[in-house]
Chain A
Amino acid sequence: MLGRYRLPLTLALAGLLVIAWAVMVLAASGPTVPVDIKYSRFEPDEFRFKAGQEVTFVIFNDDPIDHEFILGDQAVQDGHELGTEAHHGSIPTEVSVPAGATVETTITFDRPGELIIGCHLPGHYAYGMKAIVTVR
């Protein structure tokens, strides 16, 4: 009796599994977050994410000068403020954003805490080019 429904049931179950998997993947990959840079400021300058969330930042530099997007705690920011790296790009949390360019980077916030996004080109961080990221 059940035999005639075996194939449709199997297909339905598989479909549900695919949907569930897709939902999980989408939930894990999280949102795409636009970040504009204008007049050496991040806009917005405050972000809130959940621990474990994956976020893709789409960073648009609307200025005629280069900028950076360095995500990390205060120690990371202090290190870059004293650093000498000319360009960033190999680490998702440290990317250069050339004048007029749009750069994407995907970051997973693995634990709660307060982080900072900063630019450490000469004078930029002191000028106020930073944003706060709260992870809960």
Chain B
Amino acid sequence: MRRLLIVPLVLVFLITSAGAAMACAGVFSPNGNVNLLRTSTLAGYADGIEHYVTSFTFSGGGGEFGSVVPLPGVPTTVERGGDWTLQRLNREVTPVREAFAGANLATAARADSAEVLLETTIDALDITILKGGGDEVGTWAKDNGFLLAPDAPEVLDFYAERSPIFMAAKFNAAAAEERGQAIGEGTPIHLSIPTDNPWVPLRILGLGKQEIERVEADVFLLTEKEPELLIPSDGLILERSEQGSDGLIADLRADKGMEWIPEDGMWLSYLRVDSAAGDLTYDLAVDVQGEAPSTIDAGLASFDAPATPVDDGLPVALLAGVAVLVAGLGITAGRWSLRRAG
């Protein structure tokens, strides 16, 4: 799959508290030693390049944080993103309250090794781009100290079947404190990924959650024209579909690395995820060529079966760019430490 990436805000935290990597579960509770992080992600598309901006939030403490995110392709650059973009997008869709994306903490529910394509450090984050099947990425994550949730093997396979590219991020809290990073302060990451169609991984938002646990997320798309979306269930709601305001576009263009946004504006779609984790078995497929979105991209069909075009009544539109923000997602997160016996 070489699709435009629209990655949700919620990154998949595959972690546990320091010392909790024990065989028995007494010191670890999926609802206990973990924090809910609110993070924001923007993915935009212009001239065949996906621009993906996400923020990893430092929540204090002496441990480290980690996450793994499926990607639709191999990034050509990984760099620090602007500080303003995610906050501005969040404010655009929550104009009443003073949204501060990535800053809020709340309690919440939580073979062979993969090929390393790229490694870089941004602030206190160690970023690794991986290529491999689900088992290989899982093995890499395990070898690098991530504690994978029990549903991770199936979910990693679910994504690797369509795109074998993943991003792993380790947040070194000690390094963050050393450089004076405040609790709640996010580190925005900007990836540029050549792709040809939009795609939003949603199923991974339920990783590590019980089937009945709720997954709530805000998904924002910015496209040059009104996109066609595949909305497979009432757990994914299209709340807004409109031309992005001049103020939003101007503000976004003013931030670091955001000049790829066309001056003449973009279409804003706002989708809300409100679903039981067990029902969130799909991703959001978007088509930029005016065709019906792919059921394979949506995770509703495998490569073995022919993809069925879906006409759900949404208008077909050509896209030159797409941006996505997913805010306020339930992230199962916590400190992790290198696995050790005992």
Contacts and interface: CB of A to CB of B under 8 A. Distances in A.
Interface string A83-126: 11111100000001001100000000000000000001111111
Contacts of B111: 64, 100
Interface residues of B, number: 35
Given A63-B138, A64-B135, A64-B148, A120 B23 contact: yes
B153 interface: yes
A106 B259 CA distance: 65
Q: B interface, by DSSP: helix, strand, loop or mixed? A: loop
A121 B27 contact: no
Contacts of A85: 22-24
A81 B138 contact: no
B115 to A, nearest CB: 15
B23 A96 contact: yes
B138 A88 contact: no
B276 to A, nearest CB: 15
**Residue of B24, B137, B156 ringed by the most chain A CB atoms within 10 A:** B24
Contacts of A71: none
**Residue of B142, B151, B153, B157 ringed by the most chain A CB atoms within 10 A:** B153
B154 to A, nearest CB: 4
Contact of A84 (B27, B141, B151, B156): B27
A9 B203 CA distance: 74
Given A86-B342, A122-B20, A126-B210, A81 B153 contact: no
Contacts of B138: 63-65, 99
B152 interface: yes
A64 B25 contact: no
A107 B244 CA distance: 66
**Residue of B134, B147, B148 ringed by the most chain A CB atoms within 10 A:** B148
A85 to B, nearest CB: 5
A123 B142 contact: no
Contacts of A88: 23
Contacts of B153: 38-40, 63-65
Interface of A: 38-40, 63-66, 68, 80-88, 96, 99-100, 120-127, 129
Closest 9 CB pairs of A and B: A64-B138, A83-B24, A40-B150, A122-B28, A39-B154, A127-B150, A86-B341, A63-B153, A124-B150
Interface of B: 16, 20-30, 111, 134-139, 141-142, 147-154, 156-157, 208, 210, 341-342
9 contacts: A39-B153, A64-B135, A65-B153, A85-B23, A87-B341, A99-B138, A99-B142, A122-B16, A123-B149
